[in-house]
A and B are shown apart, each in its own frame.
Chain A
Amino acid sequence: MDTLGIYNGIAEDGHTGEHTNEHTDEALPESAAEPGTEALETDQGQENTQLGLAAKLHDDVTPPSEDTGETQRLGERKYLHDVSVTASPKPRKSRPFAAWLCFVLGMTLISLCTVGAFVGLVWSQGNWESMKSLVTDYKSSLPFKARTSRYFSALFYYITSLTSDIEPGSQSDPASDAENHVLRHSLLDNEGENLKYFAIEIGSGLTIANIDGNLSSVIGEDNMPILPPGYDYCWYFDGKEVWVFDHGKPVDIRRLDSGYRGLVPDPVTDWVRRSGNPDDLASIRVLLAVKNVLVPNPYGYSDYYYEQRTLAIAGRLYFGVLAAGVLMFAYGVIKRRDKHIFDRKLAAWSGRLWFEVKVFLSLLVALVAYGVLYASWDWYSYVHWWSWLPIAVLISAGILLFALFWFYMMLADLIINRKRFFSHNSVNSLLTLYRNYEKKYPWQKMMLSRVYALIIAEAVLCLLAVIFILGFFGGSALLALLSLLLVALGVFLLYRYLRRYSETVNDLGRLVDHIRRIKDGDMETKLLVAADSDIHEAAQNLNTIQEGMSRAVREKLKSERMKVDLITNVSHDLKTPLTSIVSYVELLAKEEGLPPNARDYVAILAQKTERLRHLIQDLFDLAKATSDNIVLDLNKLDLARLINQALADMQESIEDSGLAFRVKLPDEPVYIVSDGAKLSRVLQNLISNTLKYSLLGSRVFIDLEVQGKEALVTIKNTANYEMDFDEEEILERFVRGDRSRSTEGSGLGLSIAKSFTEACGGRFAIKIDGDQFKVELRFQLAG
């Protein structure tokens, strides 16, 4: 948990260099087991070796790649499968870019098409059918109907305005005629062959037409139009209402999905609104027929023709672009691992930008894109709108592409760099700069100058804020905003300082704890401190020291263990021949008829064999006690009683020795938790030691007292020889108290006593003062 905290700390602070961030990001999934070490070991060296290794592995199969760890990981992952593929090596360097480009382009095109479709849908009032027919069937498309409607309305307007003009006097006005003529030409006649029109006021016989013929040849008996060959589509006003005929059949223009709603004029209502008599229209007939196959007009600009052509091309283009977009997008999605590599590159690049810069640029991009899009699609009211279309499409596509690219990059940055997206800002950069600067100084100066720097910075900010706030009273709102910003900055700086301070104190505390742990013998736990911590170097050094100590201790333990193993094995192997020796010496001793001197020899043999046996057993016991695998049988026992028992057990030899034993034991039991058998061995050894090496007739003092929470046993005696060695030396194995005597004992008694005491949880000390030999045993009281 702790280590995770450290990791977060790094990511949050954002001054560990971008390299680190990338690394931790990638390394995490692989080494989730030990995130702490990852976070700690942000040394570039180590990372490089890791990557280098991966790259080496990778190089064996595929050409080297300049990409980040991701590629190499990919490479490693594919290592097993790609052997056949890599027979013909492909330059993989461009692949991430291609995948990324496809993804972004595809995304742009799809969004462009979606936006286009949406715009069209709004434009066509939600009629899907007419949208579809833009490409396939121009005549049922909305622009066609709108255009026809416009022509029809114009024609209707001409005929009605002409008749209303002539009606009072039947004198035709040449100017008005000319005007109508021009109007007619400019609008209707531009269509040329494509449009046949015929408008007549039956009463006056006034006709506007490009169809040769009279009323009877155009309008049949049944008041239905007779269309010229090749013209199967027509709009017709029969004096009451407007009809639309397609291939001779009337179209139900009132249907919602007919696509005619709002397009077909209602001439009668219109006429009445213009305060005319509806009966006046009864004599009006207007017919507008559109050619089945639209052709270009050599004498004018046929909107029908060009509109159809443009729409057909645009439609194909639209679907083509959509398909291309989908394909590219799909490729990008399939190759998303490659794409991801480029995403990382991009994120690495954009991660260098300050947060403020990114916000500013994003706002700018959004604003510009909106403005350009708005401006480029504000042309639909123009008649020749299709001539604008390609330009508008190109501009929109361009700006959309750019905007999408930008926001995509920002998103990738946010997802990949996470907190760093925000934390890499000008303030933090300045702080990092300051940190790098302060590292030059010794630790104490660094910590102090940090406080000073904070105070100075706060003071400057306060001063500026006050100046700006004075400006606010002078009437400038911008200055007030600035002063607020400065105050916020000041608070932020203070917060950062306090957080840093608490981190440092925290780390220092952990350092102190860790030092105590090392003192207590914990050589394994490492002190993990964030790489940017103020005490990082100290922590690293401490870890190195700890490692050194731990190694030394391990070496020592190992050699100790080897020694113990050796002793165990040797004493074990000694026992087998010794068994034979013991057996045959005994057999020899039983032999009758041996000469007296031979019997003496046998006795000596028996005696020495017995000594050897003791020596081997002592050696074995000592080895056992100093190795870790000693088995203890722990019980709560009375130390006073145990001393009594030990003395009682050796009573005979004590009496034989001629020494006076002064035993002082407390009346109350002294309870300790220990292994009684092993302690009795300790006491036996110590007592027999005093018996062997005490001055004849001297006193031996054995005391037991309770000191605080400890029981202290002291055994004092006066040596019968000069002790020309110190406390340490006497415990060295095989160094015997009296070097001149070598006939009794193994010389291991004291060592065994010490080892057993310590194995039982006690402490063993020897003090030599002139001829005074003193052994102190200390045990923790039970309970």
Chain B
Amino acid sequence: MTKLESGQRNQGRREVTRAVEKLKVLVVDDDKEIVNAIAINLRNEGYEPLKAYDGLQALDILNTHEVHLIILDVMMPKMDGLSATLKIREERNIPIIILSAKSEDSDKILGLSMGADDYVTKPFSSRELMARVKSQLRRYLTLGDVNTKKRNVLETGGLCFDLDSRTLTVDGEPVKLTPTETKIVELLMRHPGRVFPAEEIYERVWEQPAYKVENTVMVHIRRIREKIEINPREPKYLKVVWGIGYKMEKI
């Protein structure tokens, strides 16, 4: 919570310096109450919500307004969320967060492959949704920041590990890590996608022979997750590969 609040403050400060007007977020769902609830939350976070109740309305609004992010339900009348995503992606590159009651991995993969940037399953907590909105907007607006490219960094998705300063940022937001956690993150980020057994992580980070270290490693992994993941229960970056080890997802 503290991290999110600080991030929001930071974001707000940056926005003030950038432009006076608020960022516009389009919320599309056929359930008006859900749209209203999300709109209230967005307004509380300092965004200007726009409302639409089906895919066609959403496309209309996109044509008439400057929109910075879309929250899109999948199952809607007239034009469903996936078709709308495809349609929007023909012209625009704005972040799209898909809302869906379908929680299967295959549904998520389908949504993401259609061009969506994130996938949130119903029922969601508004806190998580807001965190994802912020995260997406931050990445969208800081895209093309030349400073980050030049440095000696490891990157995967929104994660960025600076090898010189040995600091980690998530979507541009610095994260405070202990030295052991830093070592683990560095090890995993140097080999994104590779699965490390707990013993290997222990031997390379602690530099001691490993014996019954699963708990130790797991505790650190969980702590890192809580710092870098929006929803630690459904991690995006740092994943447990059950029965094998741990890995940093390659995004």
Q: Say whether, besides A587-B40, A676-B242, A578 and B218 are in contact (CB < 8 Å).
A: no
Q: Please name all residues of chain B whose beta carbon is closer than 8 Å to the beta carbon of A649 when the two chains form the complex.
A: 218, 222, 240
A576 touches B31 (CB 8 A): yes
Does A584 make an interface contact (CB < 8 A)?
yes
Does B6 make an interface contact (CB < 8 A)?
no
Does A757 make an interface contact (CB < 8 A)?
no
Does B201 make an interface contact (CB < 8 A)?
no
A637 touches B243 (CB 8 A): yes
A642 touches B103 (CB 8 A): no
Q: Please name all residues of chain A whose beta carbon is closer than 8 Å to the beta carbon of B102 when the two chains form the complex.
A: 572
Q: Please name all residues of chain B whose beta carbon is closer than 8 Å to the beta carbon of A587 when the two chains form the complex.
A: 37, 40-41, 126
Does B106 make an interface contact (CB < 8 A)?
yes
Selected from A620, A645, A677, the residue in CB contact (under 8 A) with B103 is A620
Q: Smallest CB-CB separation from A578: which chain B residue?
A: B123
1/0 per residue, CB under 8 A from A, across B83-119: the answer is: 0000000000000000001111110000000000000
A582 touches B124 (CB 8 A): yes
Q: Smallest CB-CB separation from A616: which chain B residue?
A: B123
Does B193 make an interface contact (CB < 8 A)?
no
B222 touches A583 (CB 8 A): no
Selected from B31, B124, B243, the residue in CB contact (under 8 A) with A641 is B243
Does A142 make an interface contact (CB < 8 A)?
no
Q: Please name all residues of chain B whose beta carbon is closer than 8 Å to the beta carbon of A639 when the two chains form the complex.
A: 243
Does B241 make an interface contact (CB < 8 A)?
yes
B122 touches A638 (CB 8 A): no
CB distance from A477 to the nearest CB of B (A): 90
B34 touches A586 (CB 8 A): no
Does B219 make an interface contact (CB < 8 A)?
yes
Selected from A590, A651, A679, the residue in CB contact (under 8 A) with B243 is A679
Q: Smallest CB-CB separation from B106: which chain A residue?
A: A631
Does A613 make an interface contact (CB < 8 A)?
yes
A583 touches B242 (CB 8 A): no
Does B19 make an interface contact (CB < 8 A)?
no
**A360, B59: Cα distance in complex, Å:** 96
Q: Say whether, besides A572-B102, A575-B122, A641-B197, A580 and B215 are in contact (CB < 8 Å).
A: no
Selected from B34, B124, B219, B240, the residue in CB contact (under 8 A) with A680 is B240
B106 touches A583 (CB 8 A): no
Does B17 make an interface contact (CB < 8 A)?
no
**A645, B197: Cα distance in complex, Å:** 11
Does B64 make an interface contact (CB < 8 A)?
no
Does A579 make an interface contact (CB < 8 A)?
yes
Q: Please name all residues of chain A whose beta carbon is closer than 8 Å to the beta carbon of B66 when the two chains form the complex.
A: none
Q: Please name all residues of chain B whose beta carbon is closer than 8 Å to the beta carbon of A772 when the two chains form the complex.
A: none
**A503, B59: Cα distance in complex, Å:** 75
Selected from B103, B125, B215, the residue in CB contact (under 8 A) with A617 is B103
| Count class of interface residues, chain A | 35 or more
B242 touches A637 (CB 8 A): yes
Selected from A584, A641, A651, A677, the residue in CB contact (under 8 A) with B215 is A651
Q: Smallest CB-CB separation from B199: which chain A residue?
A: A641
Q: Please name all residues of chain A whose beta carbon is closer than 8 Å to the beta carbon of B20 when the two chains form the complex.
A: none
Q: Say whether, besides A578-B123, A583-B34, A637-B244, A572 and B101 are in contact (CB < 8 Å).
A: yes
List residues of A (629-678) whose CB comes within 8 Å of B's CBs.
Answer: 631, 635, 637-639, 641-642, 644-649, 651, 674, 676-677
Does B15 make an interface contact (CB < 8 A)?
no
Q: Please name all residues of chain B whose beta carbon is closer than 8 Å to the beta carbon of A651 when the two chains form the complex.
A: 215, 218-219
B31 touches A645 (CB 8 A): no
Selected from A572, A578, A624, A677, the residue in CB contact (under 8 A) with B242 is A677
List residues of A (558-587) whose CB comes within 8 Å of B's CBs.
Answer: 572, 575-576, 578-584, 586-587
- Give the one of B37, B103, B123, B240 with max A CB within 10 A: B123
Q: Smallest CB-CB separation from B126: which chain A residue?
A: A586
A613 touches B215 (CB 8 A): no
Q: Please name all residues of chain B whose beta carbon is closer than 8 Å to the beta carbon of A674 when the two chains form the complex.
A: 243
Q: Please name all residues of chain B whose beta carbon is closer than 8 Å to the beta carbon of A637 when the two chains form the complex.
A: 242-244
A680 touches B31 (CB 8 A): no
Q: Please name all residues of chain B whose beta carbon is closer than 8 Å to the beta carbon of A635 when the two chains form the complex.
A: 243-244
A579 touches B124 (CB 8 A): yes
Selected from A576, A613, A645, the residue in CB contact (under 8 A) with B240 is A645
A586 touches B244 (CB 8 A): no
Does B226 make an interface contact (CB < 8 A)?
no
Selected from B31, B106, B218, the residue in CB contact (under 8 A) with A580 is B31
CB distance from A636 to the nearest CB of B (A): 9
Q: Please name all residues of chain A whose beta carbon is closer than 8 Å to the beta carbon of B37 when the two chains form the complex.
A: 580, 583-584, 587
CB distance from B41 to the nearest CB of A (A): 7
CB distance from A686 to the nearest CB of B (A): 14
**A580, B39: Cα distance in complex, Å:** 12
Q: Smallest CB-CB separation from A583: which chain B residue?
A: B37
Q: Smallest CB-CB separation from B239: which chain A residue?
A: A677
Does B38 make an interface contact (CB < 8 A)?
yes
B33 touches A642 (CB 8 A): no
CB distance from A557 to the nearest CB of B (A): 22
Q: Say whether, besides A644-B214, A645-B214, A579 and B240 are in contact (CB < 8 Å).
A: no
**A667, B125: Cα distance in complex, Å:** 42
A642 touches B101 (CB 8 A): no
B126 touches A676 (CB 8 A): no
**A578, B101: Cα distance in complex, Å:** 10
Q: Say whether, besides A572-B101, A576-B101, A679-B242, A645 and B218 are in contact (CB < 8 Å).
A: yes
B243 touches A642 (CB 8 A): yes
**A578, B121: Cα distance in complex, Å:** 12
A580 touches B243 (CB 8 A): no
CB distance from A577 to the nearest CB of B (A): 8
1/0 per residue, CB under 8 A from A, across B57-78: the answer is: 0000000000000000000000
Selected from A576, A613, A638, A647, the residue in CB contact (under 8 A) with B244 is A638
A613 touches B123 (CB 8 A): yes
**A641, B214: Cα distance in complex, Å:** 8
CB distance from B247 to the nearest CB of A (A): 12
List residues of A (260-283) whose CB comes within 8 Å of B's CBs.
Answer: none
Q: Please name all residues of chain B whose beta carbon is closer than 8 Å to the beta carbon of A581 when the two chains form the complex.
A: 123
CB distance from A762 to the nearest CB of B (A): 13
CB distance from B234 to the nearest CB of A (A): 11
B34 touches A580 (CB 8 A): yes
**A580, B123: Cα distance in complex, Å:** 8
Q: Please name all residues of chain B whose beta carbon is closer than 8 Å to the beta carbon of A641 when the two chains form the complex.
A: 197-198, 214, 243-245
Q: Please name all residues of chain B whose beta carbon is closer than 8 Å to the beta carbon of A620 when the two chains form the complex.
A: 103
1/0 per residue, CB under 8 A from A, across B211-239: the answer is: 00011011100100000000000000000
B123 touches A586 (CB 8 A): no
Q: Please name all residues of chain B whose beta carbon is closer than 8 Å to the beta carbon of A646 when the two chains form the complex.
A: 242
Q: Smallest CB-CB separation from B241: which chain A residue?
A: A676
Q: Please name all residues of chain B whose beta carbon is closer than 8 Å to the beta carbon of A645 when the two chains form the complex.
A: 198, 214, 218, 240, 242-243
Does B127 make an interface contact (CB < 8 A)?
yes
**A477, B168: Cα distance in complex, Å:** 116
8 contacts between A and B (CB under 8 A): A572-B101, A576-B31, A582-B123, A587-B41, A631-B106, A645-B240, A645-B243, A679-B242
Which residues does B use to contact A, with CB under 8 Å? 31, 33-34, 37-38, 40-41, 44, 101-106, 122-127, 197-198, 214-215, 217-219, 222, 240-245
Q: Which 8 pairs from chain A and chain B are nearest by CB?
A: A637-B243, A676-B242, A648-B218, A583-B37, A642-B243, A644-B214, A575-B101, A579-B123
A sample of 10 more A-B contacts (CB under 8 A), given A644-B198, A649-B218, A680-B243, is A575-B123, A583-B33, A613-B123, A617-B103, A639-B243, A641-B198, A645-B214, A645-B218, A647-B215, A676-B244
